[in-house]
Structure 1
Amino acid sequence: MTESQQSDETTPNASAESAERTEEAPQPAPSNGQPKPSTPSGPTPAAMAKRLVAPTAGTPSSHPVGTPPSHTTSLEEARRFARVEDDGHVFLLVQGEEHPVGQYPDASRDEALAYFARKYDDAASQIALLEQRVAAKAPSTDMRKTVSHLRETVAERHMVGDVTSLEQRLEQLDTDIGGLEKSEQQQHEAARSAELATRENIVAEAEALASKDPASVQWKTTSTRMNELFDAWKLAQKSGTRLGRSAEDSLWKRFRSARTTFDRHRRAYFSQLDSDNAQAKATKEKLITDAEALSTSTDWGRTAAEYRHLMDEWKASRRAGRKDDDALWTRFRAAQDKFFTARKAANEVIDEEFAKNLVVKDQLLKEAQSIDSTKNPVAARKALQSIRDRWEEAGKVPRGDMGRVEAGLRSVEDAVKAAEDEKWERTNPETQARTNSALSQLESAIASLEADLEKARVTGDAGQVRKAQEALDARQQWLDMLQKSARNFE
């Protein structure tokens, strides 16, 4: 039943409006002066105003933004928009037309007017609060519903005030909320695009990791990175912008497939690695056995060569895992050290015996270094041969000095041979004959060029003079060089 229908009934228990009046309107005393029994007195106008403005479920007040605005209509202002009859019926004036609002019986006209003015204030306050939320760009989730509720409330005309102004403000709110929803949609799309790019980057990196050659992957680092990508995915799924079921399912399938491929490659790689390590370990165990068998040999030269061969095989074999490989190398190295330590001790004994031979060869080396091969290469060769004979008779020297003394003697031999070769070049008859023939040819050519130069000078041809002079100068240089070479044969 509407309030306009209720206004036709005046008895306290005949309508919901009478019940509302009984609960809220102040009651006058009975005419006989006796107190009215068991009828509760209503709240004061101030308390009623607070109750009407208080937030209720489903209204904008449930989402406050800052301090809730308040609106109070004075009686003078309310009278501009209403007419009140003596029986408490109130009529709203809108553009010259009257609309029945309701009845507030058993009260003065001002009290009836104030009651319905407070209903207007309540609607105005809620509209103001919604305007505040729109201006603050609060979430627009329930704003359309709130506007619809307020529009219905204002349209019922159960209040007194400038309802036309409220309707205009609600229309403006409708427009402003549309702009706010569009802005929110744009922000949502931007956030969704950014979130989609983030997820795409996660998936793309996971796919790149999964597509790498397993043999070239640093598995510890890469596995850590794949776990970080999974954590980033879970965080984005939990707190990021929703992408829609289709997009999220598609990306998740790609990401899950990349992780599955990555895990399969990792398991296969480490399975193969275990197999390779076991094979490498068996190979190195065999090399260790061979090295340990040679460690007591006293055939120094042959055994040292065998150890070099074993070392080449060790270097060519695969690693057996860091822990195993270090332990295997320690055993292999120990076998080598045992042999080479024994050989070193034996060589020290031999070197002590060869120390006297070293003294003799050092003296012979000094004698050889004093030979002057430039004056008489033949005599130098004879002296060197005498030293070489005594060198062989002196015997072996300590291993550490062998290279030094042998290199010193080779240097003297090279100097003697160079002196012999140089003398042969100077005294070679064939070379001398070729030189003399070249001298004769050059001298003849120079004479001819001198004649050509004289003719050119007589004719005054500057170009011919220059060419003849250049040719003559070149032949003269060659002649000087050959004459110098010929003097070396004398």
Structure 2
Amino acid sequence: MSSDPWGRVDEAGTVYVRTPDGEKVVGSWQAGSPEEALAYFERKYDGLVVEISLLERRVKTTDLSAKDASTAIEHLREQVDAHHAVGDLAALRERLDRLTEAVDKRREERRARKAQQSEEARRAKEEVVAEAEQLADSDQWRVAGERLRALVETWKGLPRLDRKSDDELWHRFSHARSAFSKRRKAHFAQLDAQREEARQRKEKLVSEAESLSGSREWGPTAAKYRDLMQEWKAAGRAQREHEEDLWSRFRGAQDVFFQARSEVFAERDAEQRENLTRKEELAAEAEKLLPVSDLKSARSAFRALNERWDAVGHVPRDSKARIEGRMHAVERAIQDAEDSEWRRSNPEARARAAGLTGQLQDAVDKLREQAEKARASGNDARAAKLEQELAGRQALLDQAQKGLEEFGG
């Protein structure tokens, strides 16, 4: 019989291994000596040690899954429990127990990490959904549309949740995008309808503008074009492909009219400037009649000049008041001369002027006397009032005396 600290071989060739629970049969050995039997089963033990060591290193240094690690541990545990090796099997069981604890710990860590990642993914997806639902009410069509497309890419990059949660969040996300898309389509459909309405309205305005382009009623037609321009602005914009063409036709029709008007006005302005030159010459000729020395001759000459004046025609508006003022001044001077002549040749008028002058002289003398008396008596207030009245009557007297002088004395 042969033995070592962990096993023995009896006379019948049966191999035993020593364990805390007593000896366990390892197997039967008939092919050689007991020493060879022990050596063979010790090598099997060493093989288990190597396999356990390798598994320990894989668990410690690689990302071996807990499931695969547990399967490998159970496989090794079955071999150890089968007692087909000679050695410290209890130590191997302890190592497998510790390895099981390590794998369980890793499993819990991974489960916790996965739960944390899942929670982070949930929060991220909820934030995506919340933002999408907020954007669903936005009228910033381009900006909101681009942001929603970016959120789709963000969603694709996030881990999946449990099917129910993922489906519920995706449904909300999809509904928000659909709501925004529906509102945007409705908005642009309405905008297209408005632009089509604007196009039809502007087509009519263009037709009207083109029908007016040949008009020669300058004032009314220019006013009508101003009204058409206001209607154009109020009509809104048509589709881009129509707007520029319509505006070109509308503006072109106006240009035809205003160009024709400008040419006519230019010709008229040249004629009016020429008329102004002729009227300035007539005004200068009329001004030579002043001062009036021979009323009859001046009146006859002015009448002839006025007939030539009326035949000349219009002058530029900004010069009309000035040039006509010169002729009116000559006309007033001749009229004043006629009035003076009439007064000098009218005895009744002279008598009335003399009578008025005498009355005013009496009144002035009386007021002067009253004022002097008031001043002498110390009544300065009454004296001041009388002197003020005296100054007014004196002015009237001076004017009356001047008129009387015009009658020749």
TM > 0.5: yes
On the 8 A contact 2:273/2:316 being kept in 1, the answer is yes
- Structure 2 unmatched ranges of 5 or more: 281-311, 323-409
Give the equivalent residue in structure 2 for 1:159. Answer: 85
> How big is the shift at 1:286?
1.0
> How big is the shift at 1:330?
1.7
Name the aligned partner's letter for residue 288 of structure 1.
V
Give the equivalent residue in structure 2 for 1:251. Answer: 169
Q: How far apart are the structure 1 equivalents of 2:136 and 2:24?
A: 76
Matched, 1:322 2:240: yes
Q: How far apart are the structure 2 equivalents of 1:181 and 1:322?
A: 64
Alpha carbons of structure 1 residues 164 and 344: separation in structure 2 relative to 1, 3 Å: same
Give the equivalent residue in structure 2 for 1:353. Answer: 271
Name the aligned partner's letter for residue 170 of structure 1.
L
- 2:215 aligns to what SS in structure 1? coil
On the 8 A contact 1:296/1:339 being kept in 2, the answer is yes
CA distances 1:128-151 after superposition (whole Å, capped 9, x unpaired) = 222223322623232233323322
Name the aligned partner's letter for residue 119 of structure 1.
K
Name the aligned partner's letter for residue 121 of structure 1.
D
> How big is the shift at 1:223?
3.2
- 1:257 aligns to what SS in structure 2? helix
- What is the TM-score when the length of structure 1 is the normalising length? 0.53
Q: In proportion to residue count, which structure has more helix?
A: 2
On the 8 A contact 2:66/2:104 being kept in 1, the answer is no
On the 8 A contact 1:360/1:394 being kept in 2, the answer is no
On the 8 A contact 1:87/1:106 being kept in 2, the answer is no
Alpha carbons of structure 1 residues 396 and 226: separation in structure 2 relative to 1, 3 Å: farther
Q: How far apart are the structure 1 equivalents of 2:223 and 2:237?
A: 24
Give the equivalent residue in structure 2 for 1:118. Answer: 43
Name the aligned partner's letter for residue 130 of structure 1.
L
Which runs of structure 2 are paired with 1:167-206 in the superposition (5 Å)?
A: 167-206=93-132
- Aligned pair count reads 290
On the 8 A contact 1:81/1:162 being kept in 2, the answer is yes
Name the aligned partner's letter for residue 157 of structure 1.
H
Q: How far apart are the structure 1 equivalents of 2:277 and 2:10?
A: 148
CA distances 1:64-120 after superposition (whole Å, capped 9, x unpaired) = xxxxxxxxxxxxxx9431213465432111248211111233133343223322332
Alpha carbons of structure 1 residues 86 and 345: separation in structure 2 relative to 1, 3 Å: farther
Alpha carbons of structure 1 residues 356 and 156: separation in structure 2 relative to 1, 3 Å: same
* Correspondent of 1:217 among 132, 140, 143: 140
Name the aligned partner's letter for residue 183 of structure 1.
E
Alpha carbons of structure 1 residues 318 and 105: separation in structure 2 relative to 1, 3 Å: farther
CA distances 1:401-436 after superposition (whole Å, capped 9, x unpaired) = x59x99xxxxxxxxxxxxxxxxxxxxxxxxxxxxxx
Give the equivalent residue in structure 2 for 1:107. Answer: 32
> How big is the shift at 1:152?
2.6
On the 8 A contact 1:361/1:394 being kept in 2, the answer is no
CA distances 1:217-238 after superposition (whole Å, capped 9, x unpaired) = 32x44334333333433x23xx
- 2:67 aligns to what SS in structure 1? coil
Alpha carbons of structure 1 residues 359 and 140: separation in structure 2 relative to 1, 3 Å: farther
Q: What value does the CA root-mean-square deviation take over the aligned residues?
A: 3.3
Q: How far apart are the structure 1 equivalents of 2:44 and 2:245?
A: 93
Alpha carbons of structure 1 residues 352 and 161: separation in structure 2 relative to 1, 3 Å: farther
Name the aligned partner's letter for residue 262 of structure 1.
F
Give the equivalent residue in structure 2 for 1:411. Answer: none
Which runs of structure 2 are paired with 1:6-405 in the superposition (5 Å)?
A: 79-85=4-10, 88-95=13-20, 97-136=22-61, 138=63, 139-212=65-138, 216-218=139-141, 220-233=142-155, 235-236=156-157, 240-356=158-274, 396-397=315-316
Name the aligned partner's letter for residue 300 of structure 1.
W
> How big is the shift at 1:260?
2.2
On the 8 A contact 1:137/1:180 being kept in 2, the answer is no
Percent identical: 38
Alpha carbons of structure 1 residues 300 and 130: separation in structure 2 relative to 1, 3 Å: same
Name the aligned partner's letter for residue 123 of structure 2.
A
Alpha carbons of structure 1 residues 94 and 296: separation in structure 2 relative to 1, 3 Å: same
